[in-house]
Amino acid sequence: MRRVAILLVLLLAAGGAAAQEVLVQCSPRRADTGAPGSGFMTLPRLAEHLRSAAPALKVDEIRQTAMAVPTLSLTAHRPDGIADPKEWRSAWFEAVLHPAGLALDPALMVLGRVLPPAPGDGRTPVVAEFPALQAGWWPARYDVFVLACVDAGHDPSSQRENTREIRAFARQTLYVSSLRLSAATGIAAVLGLYLALAFAAAHVQLRQFAHAREAARRGGGDLSRAAFALRPTVIMQDAFGHCSLSRFQVLLFTLVLTGVYAYVMTRTGELPDVSPSVLLLLGITLAGSTLARAVDGPVVDTPNRLWLLGTGVIDPTPRLPQWRDLLAGDGEIDVTRVQALVFSVFAAVALVVNGTADLEQFRIPDQIVQLMGISQAVYVAGKALPREAATRLNAEIRALREAESAALDTPGDAAASRAFETARNAAGSVLFDVFGERFDDAALRRLTPGLRRAPPPAAELA
């Protein structure tokens, strides 16, 4: 037991020492001999060197990227101490963060992981990740130290080949943002925009809300105005009370892009550029929505609609939008809507996952863009062409109206009465397919030539 305790103590001590002995993979020349160092140094040794030496490396274009892991990108210029371009192209870089405004303290230093650079003759882009950086909610000022290290050759005393020594370093001050604040800003932007749309819907759809609340009370519950307006189906419905797929796409991409843009702007501290793929994606959905509204219209012809409402066969109260409207319409499932919906969701997920990392370089494969464009075109064309259920419905209602007129013109004619009853019974199935719960089958069965429904009270229309 005693040996186990001693072993644990030794392991903990070794772990603590290892935590303090963070190695930087380059070192300055020895002050006494001027010979290359060992090629490795600890953070205390680095702090000592940074205190005693002057920055000689020029860097610019330093910025924080939108990556979830704190990542800095910059451009380093070849210093005077590295005259040979070949030596510069083989340079090794290290990056360290330290809270700005404080004396250099090795305990506060955070060593970054520099990605393999793509060197040039005079300028080299450098990208450094800092996974160990502990950031709170608010942006913090850091001093960024960038070390340019080159091959110092063989050092017999260190018994190392190709040891790297510091030739120059740069020191820049930068605000480093918080992932928590950036994510919260993106979510708040989405919620703020959605609440604004819900507020507008609550004031526009007053009559529809009154009908929905009355239906909820008949079922033993209640419905608040806020709960009604917050439904996505209410926000993306069209003028006829149907959930519109084109409006769903516009709403989806607008909310997603708003959240991603707010996140990237907070994360990087600058207004980000938007990639051509994002612009093309928005263009496809906006064009599809505009064209869909241009060709959209009521399922039933105006004379037939007035006749159905006047006879009481169709409930005149506002229609409540439903999720199934995105995939079905006019009594049939529209497979073109299914395809457009699926790939829209895929594109939105890709924008959230990849766009937050680099919105400017976000790209959707050309085949997906073409497929979405084709789906949108077919969807709009399908709305413009006469639909089978709507064509059939208008034809049968027109025949029923003509049979009613014939029965009214020849009272007591048994043949005319039978023709009216036949047309009335035939219209029931297609009316149910198109109007669903708004179709009153009992009212159709009671319908006689010339019978009209009394207008609803003003309270129901308010």
pLDDT score for 455: 66
What is the identity of the amino acid at 120? Answer: G
* pLDDT classification of 32: cutoffs 50, 70, 90: low
- Which of the pair, 379 or 119, is modelled with greater confidence? 119
Residue 5 pLDDT: 44
* Three-state SS at 143: strand
Q: Give DSSP secondary structure letters for 321-362.
A: P-GGGGTEETTEE-HHHHHHHHHHHHHHHHHHHHHTT-STT-
Tell me the two tokens of residue 125. 């882009």
- Three-state DSSP at 14 gives helix
The whole-number average pLDDT for the span 308-315 is 84
pLDDT tens digits for range 51-77:
989 999 999 999 999 998 999 999 999
Q: Which of 41-55, 58-72, 103-117, 321-335 is the least confident region?
A: 321-335
pLDDT at 8: 41
Residue 95 clears pLDDT 50, i.e. is over it: yes
pLDDT reported for residue 425: 87
Tell me the pLDDT band of 227, cut-offs 50, 70 and 90: very high
For residue 156, the model assigns a pLDDT of: 47
pLDDT tier, 9 (very low <50, low <70, confident <90, very high otherwise): very low
Q: What is the pLDDT at residue 294?
A: 63
Strand partners, 172: 144
Residue that the structure tokens 């992981």 belong to: 113
- What residues form DSSP beta bridges with 71? 129
| Cα atoms in the Cβ-side hemisphere of radius 13 Å centred on 103 | 3
Task: Name which residue leads in pLDDT, 398 or 31.
Answer: 398
Q: Which pLDDT score, from 0 to 100, does residue 124 have?
A: 92
3-class state of residue 75 by DSSP: strand
* Per-residue confidence (pLDDT) for residue 385, from 0 to 100: 57
Q: How far apart are the first and last CA of the chain?
A: 84
The pLDDT value given to residue 169? 93
Is 375 buried (19+), middle (13-18) or exposed (0-12) by CB count in 10 A?
buried
Which long-range contacts (C-beta less than 8 Å, at least 24 apart) are formed by 361-368?
Answer: 361/275, 362/275, 362/277, 362/278, 363/275, 363/277, 364/277, 364/280, 364/281, 368/343
What pLDDT is attached to residue 29? 81
Q: What are the tokens at 405?
A: 């007129």
Q: What angle do CA 198, 200, 201 make, to 5 degrees?
A: 60
Q: What per-residue confidence (pLDDT) applies to 7?
A: 42
- Pairing mode, strands 164-176 and 140-151: antiparallel
Average pLDDT, the chain: 82
The closest alpha carbon to 363, from 272, 279, 457, belongs to 279
Band (312; pLDDT cuts 50, 70, 90): confident
How long, in residues, is the chain? Answer: 462
Q: 160 falls in which pLDDT band (50, 70, 90)?
A: very low
Q: Please tell me the predicted confidence (pLDDT) of residue 262.
A: 95
pLDDT attached to residue 314: 84
Residue 71: predicted pLDDT: 93
| pLDDT at site 382 | 65
Helix axes 245-268, 335-355, angle to 10 degrees: 0
Q: Which phi and psi (to 5°) does residue 242 adopt?
A: -110, 140
The Cα-based distances of 205 to 275, 322, 379 in angstroms read 37, 15, 27
Across 344-353, 396-405, 415-424, 434-443, least confident range? 434-443
Q: What is the dihedral of CA 377, 383, 389, 394, to 10 degrees?
A: -150
- Domains of the chain plus CATH, in order, are 20-176 (2.60.40.10), 181-461 (no CATH)
> What's the chain's Rg over C-alpha atoms?
36
- Who wins on pLDDT, 12 or 420? 420
User: Of all residues in the chain, what percent carry a pLDDT higher than 90?
Assistant: 28
Rounded distance between C-alpha atoms, residue 128 and residue 117, angstroms: 10
Sheet containing strand 92-99, strands side by side: 110-111, 92-99, 140-151, 164-176
Quote the pLDDT of residue 445: 87
pTM, entire model: 0.75
**Of 95-109, 236-250, 256-270, minimum mean pLDDT range:** 236-250
Q: What percent of the chain has pLDDT over 70?
A: 86
The total of other beta-carbon atoms located within 10 Å of residue 171's CB is 16
Ordered DSSP codes for 237-265 = B-TTS-B-HHHHHHHHHHHHHHHHHHHHH
Whether 37 shows a pLDDT value over 50: the answer reads: yes
| Distance (Å, whole) CA 248 – CA 244 | 6
DSSP 78-122: PPTT---HHHHHT-EEEEEEEETTS---GGG-EE-EEPPP---SS
The predicted structure's pLDDT at residue 207 = 86
Instruction: Report the pLDDT averaged over residues 294-316.
Output: 78
Query: Are the C-beta atoms of 461 and 211 separated by less than 8 Å?
Result: no
- Across the range 18-38, mean pLDDT stands at 71
Instruction: Tell me the C-alpha distance between 274 and 364, whole Å.
Output: 13
- Greater pLDDT, 292 or 183: 183
164-176 and 332-333 strand pairing: unpaired
